[in-house]
Amino acid sequence: MSFHEFSHGYVADKLGDPTPRQSGRLTLNPLAHIDPLGLLMLWLLRFGWAKPVPINPLYFRDRKKGVLLVSLAGPLSNVLLAIVSRILMIAFKDVPILYPLLYLLYIYNLVFAVFNIIPVPPLDGSKVLWSLLPPREAYMISQYEMYGQVILLLLVFTGVIGQIMWPLMNALDSFITLILKPFGV
């Protein structure tokens, strides 16, 4: 989660937004990104969250493009970590303690990447969708943002989220397998 949130802040910073740096969130230190309730929920219910990195899109030259890049940075960082984990899994396949930890890191990063790209506020996918829509449709979608957390909780607690995520996770796993195959991984 720290790398995911750091990635949002890093991209925003590179696009000219000083907000993540000024708020002390341009760091990999997990303490800067922990939301106490989100962490507790993660331990208890296996569904939690980190503190979102604050950004101010008004600093971006192209607001929609900036929001798109910042929003994609988190899930793409999870894909990158999944790829690195997968490579390390092969390198350390015979190390009894390390291999299972790398496998969990791989799975968790697949989950984080796929979950966060779902287009329901406050997830990154909702911001990606907003940035890709024409202005009128983007405005209409933004009017429903306040209901996003309720919709998200309903999806999680009814189990519908799994029906959305499993096919996407399998597709991402297959994609990672495909791109690593030429390297013997």
Q: Which residue in 1, 2, 4, 5 is the catalytic one?
A: 5
Phi, psi dihedrals of residue 52, rounded to the nearest 5°:
-65, 145
Find, among 4, 8, 3, 9, the residue nearest to 22 by Cα.
9
For residues 15 and 70, the answer to whether their CB atoms sit within 8 Å is yes
Annotation marks residue 137 as catalytic: no
Residue with tokens 């495909």: 178
- Taking the C-alpha atoms of residue 176 and residue 16, their distance in angstroms, rounded to an integer, is 32
Annotated catalytic sites, by residue?
A: 5
